[in-house]
Chains A and B, each alone.
Chain A
Amino acid sequence: MPRIITCYKWVKDEADIKVDTSSRQLTLDRVGYKISDYDRNAIEEAVRMQEQHGGSVIAVTVGPPSAKQSLKDALSRGPEEAYFINDPSFAELEPAQTAAILAAVIKGRLEYDLIICGEGSSDLYAQQVGPRLAELLGIPCATYVNKLALEGTRINVERKLDDGIEKISLPLPALVTVLPDINTPRLPGLKQVLAAGKKPVHNIGLKDLGLTCEVTLNTTGILAATMERRRLRFGAGNEDIRKVVDALLKEGVIA
């Protein structure tokens, strides 16, 4: 029966980001947070596998103390316990640091057969944590997976790549990163949310890790990507549609 770890990130909801077009500064103080989109697919896949084969699912996240809010959401999706690795300095980690922290916690404390991560986070979308974590743990990995099947002591997966599908087989323990089309994450009901509050959470701080997270990548700037557009509005009436078509003709974009 597989012991599964699923990793997720608590991220700013990019849909809430406001932009000052003249200064290209981002306004981030009013943004909401969410479990990164594809990590929800990762959690769902872990839970489905458990429903099919038994075993266990542990959710692990690395973040600042404020990411505590994510635990109930994550646990309501099915995992039976969570590891919350937090420190105020974990607010803006780079992928190499996140992978190193996850590796330190998993190596020392957790037994597992399979680790499931999302393809990439919806904030940085660097798509590095999964494969880096596999390397640090010395286990095989498969990225961009949209089908997963447990076959005894191996896992067979389908990777969706730019030139087609690649079916591969990995011995356990292994790590996979999943694509959004692998499943549709369930919406937790009230019962699941209430039950989530009672599930165990293991808090781990920086000092418990015995690790210094060296910076290898320095962010020197973040600016809004701007776009000049006319933003003209029209209704659905015939008159308005004519105006739009006239405008497109004048712009010379249809012929």
Chain B
Amino acid sequence: MSGVWVLGERREQTLELLNAGLGLARELGTTVTAFAIQDQGLAKTYIECGADTVYLLGSLAPEQPLEDYVPVIVDVARQKNPDIFLISATPRGKEMAARIAARLGVGLGSECTRLRLDENKSLVMERLMFGGAAVQTVVCLTRPQMATIPPRTFEPAVPLANREGEIIELPAPPAGKVRVLERKPRVQESVDITEARVVVAIGRGVEKQEDIELIQELANVAGGELGCTRPIAEELHWLPENRYLGISGQKIKPDLYIGVGVSGQIQHISGIRDAKVICAINKDENAPIFEAADYGIVGDLYAVVPQLTRELQRVLKK
């Protein structure tokens, strides 16, 4: 067995997985191996931050997708038999993990948010199911025990003193069948919704895009940022995608969350579970959001929001 392996799509995610991997390896009395993508400097960083071995993946041609690394990674995994293999749950990471697991004929825990070892030193993974209504605990019966881990689940590993490790270069993968035609990087948004102290989220109860202004005023007075439900971002495209909250979107921990015209389906609630206070405005008294709220206001948002904004203005003297 060759210990705990980690593969992150980018530096930040690799460091987070390294941190998780180092904890497991300590308990198992084994080593940690990381993959570095095309960059010798990164390989050195990973060693400084605790990796014993780094596999340096060879360069891809511009038209090759990241997933072309799958066969190369599967080859080393077959030779070295890792005990645990953690992969970052970015979209590309999730595809690669599933394909690696299929080729190795092993189980894979998807988007695991907690990891621990049981008395037999097997990896116990916790993940959400039913849109976040339940926590499923799974154990792999095959080796390597594989899991994908959402970004920011663990703190990044930090540089340690006097680190030494081995960098092993792997061959550049041959071109697969898939060709990349174009990459359009996402326009970086200036706000990080996960950092906001107050988040006012809009749902489909808001009828028109212009009406967002009304909610924006509330957010301004409350000193918060606008968030939304998945359909507002993905179907209506009223707000950027990194503003939607939920199991497949952002997970936030603000002091205050105010849901405006949000029904509160479990997939959305999963993203706001850790808010200190949850407030909801919905005209349907049976909307599920009221079950998840501390303060629920039953009423038409078009009447309630202006009142709430005014009242906040008054008490906060804004």
The answer to whether A and B assemble together is yes
Which positions in A face B, CB cutoff 8 Å? 12, 14-15, 17, 19, 26, 94-96, 99, 122-128, 130-132, 134-136, 140-144, 156, 159-171, 179-181, 184, 215-225, 227, 229-236, 238, 240-242, 244-249, 251-255
Q: A169 touching B296 by the CB < 8 A rule?
A: no
Q: Which of B237-280 contact A (CB under 8 A)?
A: 241, 247-248, 255-256, 265-266, 269-270, 273, 276-279
Q: A168 touching B277 by the CB < 8 A rule?
A: no
Q: B129 touching A167 by the CB < 8 A rule?
A: no
| Closest partner residue, chain A, to B183 (CB atom) | A166
Which of B94, B266, B299 meets A14, CB within 8 Å? B266
> In the complex, which residues of chain A have a beta carbon less than 8 angstroms from the beta carbon of B142?
216
Q: B178 touching A254 by the CB < 8 A rule?
A: no
When chains A and B are docked, how far (Å) is the Cα of A249 from the Cα of B295?
A: 13
Q: A221 touching B137 by the CB < 8 A rule?
A: yes
- Asked whether A236 and B299 contact (CB < 8 A) given A170-B178, A253-B276, the answer is yes
Q: A225 touching B304 by the CB < 8 A rule?
A: no
> In the complex, which residues of chain B have a beta carbon less than 8 angstroms from the beta carbon of A249?
315
| Closest partner residue, chain A, to B294 (CB atom) | A230
* 24 A-B pairs with C-beta separation under 8 A: A123-B129, A124-B110, A126-B111, A127-B98, A130-B98, A131-B95, A140-B177, A141-B95, A166-B182, A168-B179, A169-B179, A179-B234, A180-B234, A218-B140, A220-B124, A225-B133, A231-B293, A233-B285, A236-B307, A245-B308, A247-B295, A251-B256, A252-B255, A254-B256
The interface stretch among B40-48, B77-85, B100-108, B206-214 is B100-108
Q: A235 touching B297 by the CB < 8 A rule?
A: yes
B136 within 8 A of A: yes
- Asked whether A127 and B178 contact (CB < 8 A) given A143-B94, A218-B141, A220-B137, the answer is no
Q: A125 touching B295 by the CB < 8 A rule?
A: no
> In the complex, which residues of chain B have a beta carbon less than 8 angstroms from the beta carbon of A225?
128, 132-135, 270, 273
Chain B: minimal CB distance from A43 (Å): 18
B109 within 8 A of A: yes
When chains A and B are docked, how far (Å) is the Cα of A20 from the Cα of B131?
A: 17
B26 within 8 A of A: no
Chain A: minimal CB distance from B232 (Å): 11
Q: B124 touching A236 by the CB < 8 A rule?
A: no
Q: B294 touching A163 by the CB < 8 A rule?
A: no
B49 within 8 A of A: no
Q: B131 touching A122 by the CB < 8 A rule?
A: yes
> In the complex, which residues of chain B have a beta carbon less than 8 angstroms from the beta carbon of A230?
293-295
Q: B180 touching A135 by the CB < 8 A rule?
A: no
